[in-house]
A and B are shown apart, each in its own frame.
Chain A
Amino acid sequence: SYVLTQPPSVSVAPGKTARITCGGNNIGSKSVHWYQQKPGQAPVLVIYYDSDRPSGIPERFSGSNSGNTATLTISRVEAGDEADYYCQVWDSSSDHPRVFGGGTKLTVL
């Protein structure tokens, strides 16, 4: 089955740029979605189809996807961005088509 690899943690100072990666074999050929999960809360969709933002998500959140790596970029990081972030793809070649990455804990220093 398809495997997505994320770094367990990323740390960034307020006002700086955070980049969270999601690695997978030829992931650039797939559509990647990103979810934010704060402690005790349900996940929230923050980026879909690699780089689209749902309404209500700040423009500081952006995404890209090419080759074997997809990236979630958060510009001008704020304390409120501290959360776990998960990438997700649909693996249409599998009977278990929905795959999540292991998650990345974003810490705002």
Chain B
Amino acid sequence: EVQLVETGGGLIQPGGSLRLSCAASGFTVSSNYMSWVRQAPGKGLEWVSVIYSGGSTYYADSVKGRFTISRDNSKNTLYLQMNSLRAEDTAVYYCARQPVGATTPLDYWGQGTLVTVSS
């Protein structure tokens, strides 16, 4: 059974850093594309970042230069390192699996972890 479990969210002051983790089971993270998607309170879904099976990474303009996506193949875990956090980064962060392919869907999602950026 495919499962994704995000951890690492919490309350952080503006300018601070946080690392989110997404532990996967039932499939191999490195054999898939993996994305982070966030949702600000009361708002829609916003794609944040993706790491391809080959290791290439892409970011939304809103987080480029501040966030870094990575994975640990030995732990089958996806990460999102978030630096220089701003109030507008406050959101529930979801990790999601995308089978390899240019147009495949996000077929499994984690339950999300809440990040609150506030002083």
- Chain A residues with CB under 8 Å of chain B are 30-31, 33, 35, 37, 41-45, 48-49, 54, 84, 86, 88-90, 92, 95-103
Contacts and interface: CB of A to CB of B under 8 A. Distances in A.
Most buried by A among B59, B103, B109: B103
B17 to A, nearest CB: 23
A44 B109 contact: yes
Nearest to A41: B111
13 contacts: A33-B106, A35-B106, A42-B94, A42-B109, A43-B45, A44-B109, A45-B107, A88-B105, A92-B102, A95-B58, A97-B50, A98-B35, A100-B44
A87 to B, nearest CB: 10
Given A35-B106, A88-B105, A96-B58, A103 B111 contact: no
Contact of B112 (A42, A48, A92, A99): A42
Given A48-B104, A88-B106, A100-B37, 17 more contacts: A31-B103, A42-B112, A43-B45, A43-B106, A43-B109, A44-B109, A45-B107, A86-B44, A86-B45, A90-B103, A96-B47, A96-B60, A96-B61, A98-B47, A100-B46, A100-B47, A103-B45
